Every structure is written in structure tokens, then in C-alpha cells.
Amino acid sequence: MTVESTAARKPRRSAGSKTGTSRTTAKTTDAPAADAQATAARPDTAATTKAPAAKRATTKRAATKKPAAKPAGTARTAGTTVRTTGTGADPDLVQLLTPEGKRVKNADYDHYVAALTPDDLRGLYRDMVLTRRFDAEATSLQRQGELGLWASLLGQEAAQIGSGRATRPDDYVFPTYREHGVAWCRDIDPTNLLGMFRGVNNGGWDPNSNNFHLYTIVIGSQTLHATGYAMGVAKDGADSAVIAYFGDGASSQGDVAESFTFASVYNAPVVFFCQNNQWAISEPTERQTRVPLYQRAQGYGFPGVRVDGNDVLAVLAVTKWALERARSGEGPTLVEAYTYRMGAHTTSDDPTRYRHDDERAAWEAKDPIARLRTYLESSNHADEGFFAELEVESEALGRRVREAVRAMPDPDPFAIFEHTYADGHALVDEERAQFAAYQASFADGEGA
């Protein structure tokens, strides 16, 4: 399916307008300190920034030879890695809502969420609850044999809903295969996500209808697609941005490094959103990098920010800032949402083989949904009636998803052989015949 650029649909604001600037014109803003770090790392960058006074010390550290702080969540003794599951001691972690549900101030980002009403806050909570309910139903359906595979987002709801709600309709989203919450924010029907995992379609939605690309299974390749699309957006002169999602494991892929290079050199209006859920299947983050992931952006000449990925308000604020920065011609940003994958990598994975229960328990105390609920209750922004109604809506969504999947046709077991070669191949023909004989054996009782 051809993805048409939506850039030309809305003309970009002229250089003299309130927010628009030429993407190659130097600009000075009061952006958060991460911009200043990138500027210090590359003095000749086109987009110069001025850090707030409260964070100039961070900028100064970035420009000196002082060793970088050890990544939060790790400690090493006698060659052994001891995971401390994120103690919260990272001074660069952007947080607006603590795990205990208390609102904390942040001078750099508060104004991005200052206009949120109680209705808006309840909406964010509803988004996370319904996304988790859909995700749980999909996992159950896979266990019942209705889906071939499922990649759960359990624990990452705040990272996805916060960033998804920060986008505008004319922004373009490039997901991986786990962005079910972002799809929800882009008005993709949840049942459309399941056809591919059942094997009855190759995606299930038109990416041009919602500016939400099809799921990408190949690790990291969507960052290159996003960068190229963003370069096209810039050439078309559109006032929109692109956001690319990927995980901590994908950050080790060459495709991601190449996309960082192109985006930086061409000042592409793209936000790289990394959901660091601590594990690349069974490989922990500290086996992939010796510095926090967000600091990698400095080497490419653009800012990186680490945000509490279980804090939906902080994620919303940071992503809004990064997207506005892209739209105004200041180039790419790397956002590292520091979160945790509560479940398995996919339903074919067994996380008990490589991580301990106490690690999961420590992160359960930071649950993004429980955190926002505590805040809503303590602020008198939601009552028991709201939560009861949402529970009813959640169960209705689960039933709808079950019924939709069970109504889908069974996948054609021979379809895999049909499009391997355009003109056919003797080996594929032989494999098809072998598979047909194997299937037929069940009818004869031989394969039972």
C-alpha cells in the first residue's frame, strides 16, 4: 500500500508567522536543558538554544570531561550486574506525577499540561484503562488459539497514551508492533489490530486515513521510514511533525543509527520516541549501552530527554515540547520513556527464565494507571461513579473484541507459499506438497 505524504494538505506557516520558521534558519528559544546539551556538543548546529537557569549546570557538565553518571537502575559488583529497577535517583528524569500519585512541579514542562481540565485527566485515565483491557483480551485470545501471537504493552500505557495524545491529526506516526495505545489515540479500531496477528490480513487499516502507519515487525526499520517521510514533510513546507516509536533493543540496530544521522544532518522534523522497557526480549539495557539511551542523541547533534514513562502527564508534556520543536524547524529530538514491560516480550516468551519476580514487584508499585487514579481521587477529579462506569465500558470492549476475533475467518494455511516467488519455484512446490500431506494426515488419524 502506498503511503501518500499528507504534508502538502496543510501549508506550513510562513517564516514571519507566530510559530513557523525556516527549518534551516537559526533560532533561539527557551527550550529545556536537553537542547542546550546538544548545542554544547555541536557548537555549529543551526538551531541554537538557551537553557533555563535552573538547568545550566547540566549543560556545563555535558561540555566537560567529567565521567557520565552511571545509568539509573544498575550497579556492578565483581563483574555481576545487579538490577536496582530504577531507584528514581536520576536527576535528569522528567517527572510530574510521582509513583505515589503526587503532583510535582517542573518549570520546564509544567506549562505543557497546565491547561488540562479534570475532564482531560479523566480522559487520559480512560484511555489507559481501556487500552490495558484490550491488551489483556488479546493475550487471552492468543492463549485460546484465536491469535498466532501477541505483543503485550502491559505497563507501558502511560508512555503510549501520553505521547499519542500529544500528537496532532496532521502529524504522522510510525509504530513498531506494540503501539496499541498509540493506535487507540489515532482512532484505529482495536479489532483492526488483530487481523494481522490472526494471519488474515497484512495490517487491517489504511495508514493514510489516520496518519498511522502499518505495524512494523522488522526491528528498527520504521525509524528510517519516519526520517525519510519527515524530510519530505520539510520539503513540502508543511507545518506538521513525524514521530517514530522503537524499543531499547532497537536502539542497537544500525537502521536507528542511520536514521539519527540523516535526521540530524537534514534537520528533519521527527521525534524519535524510545520506550525503554528495560528488556530487549531477554537482554537487559545495560548489555546494550554504557550510557543512558537519551544521551546518545548528543553524539548526533540533537537533544535527548529522559522522561518517567509511567507518568502520563510527564510523557504528554515532553512529547508536546518535542513535537512543537520539530514543527518550528528545530529538527529532531530523542525522547527516552523510562518504563517497564510487565509481561512477556510476546506470548511466545517466558520472562521467568531471565528476570526475577522482585523486579516486577518493584515496578508494579509504579503502575501508571494506579498512579493517575490516586491523583484523580486525591484531587477530587473523579468519584466512584466514574470508575464504576468505566469498568462497565471496559468489559463491553472486551466482549466486542472477543466477538470480532471469533467472527474472523481462519487463516489460509497455504497462503505462505503463494507469494514467495513471483514465478514459482521448485523447492517451494515441494514444500507445499509436503505440508499438504502433513495436513491430510490429520484427517487419516496419523497426525493426531
Task: Name the pairing type of β-strands 304-308 and 242-247.
Answer: unpaired
Task: Name the pairing type of β-strands 242-247 and 172-174.
Answer: parallel
Catalytic position from the list 12, 178, 186, 341 = 341
Is residue 354 annotated as part of the catalytic site, yes or no? yes
Catalytic position from the list 111, 354, 425, 438 = 354
10 or 399: which leads in pLDDT: 399
pTM for this structure? Answer: 0.79
150 or 86: which leads in pLDDT: 150
- Average pLDDT of the segment spanning 257-268: 98
- Average pLDDT of the segment spanning 163-179: 98
DSSP state of 103: B
- Average pLDDT of the segment spanning 77-101: 63
Strand order in the sheet with 242-247: 93-94, 304-308, 333-338, 270-276, 242-247, 172-174
Is residue 446 very low, low, confident or very high in pLDDT (cuts 50, 70, 90)?
A: low
Is residue 88 very low, low, confident or very high in pLDDT (cuts 50, 70, 90)?
A: very low
Does 15 score more than 90 pLDDT? Answer: no
Q: Please name which of 313, 376, 333, 309 lies closest in space to residue 88, comparing C-alpha atoms.
A: 309
**Cell 529530538 appears where?**
333
Is residue 341 annotated as part of the catalytic site, yes or no? yes
Mean pLDDT, the chain, integer: 84
Alpha carbons 175 and 335: distance in angstroms, whole number: 15
Catalytic position from the list 245, 345, 371, 375 = 345
Chain Cα centroid distance, residue 19? 26
